[in-house]
Structure 1
C-alpha cells in the first residue's frame, strides 16, 4: 500500500524569480532551502516548492507539454476560516498582481469560493467550507 500522504507540491516555473516574488508578496514564509534556483514555502500541512520547469521535466523524464498561458489541468486551494476571508484573500492577491479569474461568490454547496491565477497561470481556489475541520497546525483534516 502506498503511504497516503501529500507532503510537497512542486510548480514547474518558466520564470522562477517572477513566481518566487509573487508568493513572497503574498507574505508566504520561505524555508531555509530556498535559493536562486529553487524556492520552497511553508504552508499548513504541505510544502509548496517552485523549480525551473526545464529542470523538473528532466528530473521526471518527461517533455514539457504546456506553455504558461495554458490551463495545466491542476488547481491548488487555500481554505480559509470564514466566508469574509475569501473576499479579503482575493483582495490581497489582487493587490500583489494576481489575476482574479472568478470573483468571490456563494457556492452551491453552502460555502464561498473564488479563483485566481499566479503570474504563470497556475490556478488557485480560495474557499470557505462551513464543515471544514483543521488541526492545530492549520492543515485541513476533513471537509
Structure 2
C-alpha cells in the first residue's frame, strides 16, 4: 500500500527568479533550503517548491513537452475560512500582478471561488467551502 500523503509539490519553473519573486510577493515564507536555483515555500499542508523545468524533466527522465502558455491540467487551491477572504485574497494577488482568470463568485456547490494564474500560467483556485475542516496548522483535513 502506498502511504496516502502529499508532502511536497514542485512546479517546474521556466524563469525561476521571476516565479520565486511572485511567491515572495504573496508573503509566503521560504525555507532555509531556498536558493537562486531552488525555492521552497512553507504552507499549512505541504512544501511548495520551484525548480527549473529543464532540471525537473531531467531528474524525472523525461522530455519537456509543454510550454508555459497552455493549460497543464493541474490546479492548486488555497482554501480559506470565510467567503469574504476569497474576495480579499483575489484583490491581494491582483495587486502584485497576478492574472485573474475568474472573479470571485458563489459556486454551484455552496461555497465561493475565484481563480488566478501566476506568471507562468500555473492556476490557483481561491476558495471557501462551508464544510471544510482544518487542523491546528491550517491544513485541510476534510471537506
What is the CA–CA distance in structure 1 between the aligned matches of 2:80 and 2:13, rounded to whole Å?
Answer: 26
Q: TM-score, normalised by structure 1?
A: 0.99
Runs of 5+ unmatched residues, structure 1: none
Q: Give CA-to-partner distance per residue, 1:84-137, whole Å, 9 cap, x none.
A: 000000000000110000000000110000000000000000000000000000
Distance 2:137 2:106 in 1: 27
* Runs (4+) off by over 2 Å: none
TM-score by length of 2: 0.99
SS of the residue 2:91 aligns to? helix
For the aligned residue pairs, the C-alpha RMSD in angstroms reads 0.4
SS at match of 2:49: strand
Per-residue Cα deviation, 1:58-93 (whole angstroms, up to 9, x for no partner): 000011111111111100000000000000000000
- Alignment match, 1:18: 18
Tell me by how many angstroms 1:45 deviates.
1.3
Size of the alignment, in residue pairs? Answer: 143
Structure 2 unaligned blocks of 5 or more: none
State the partner residue of 2:82: 82
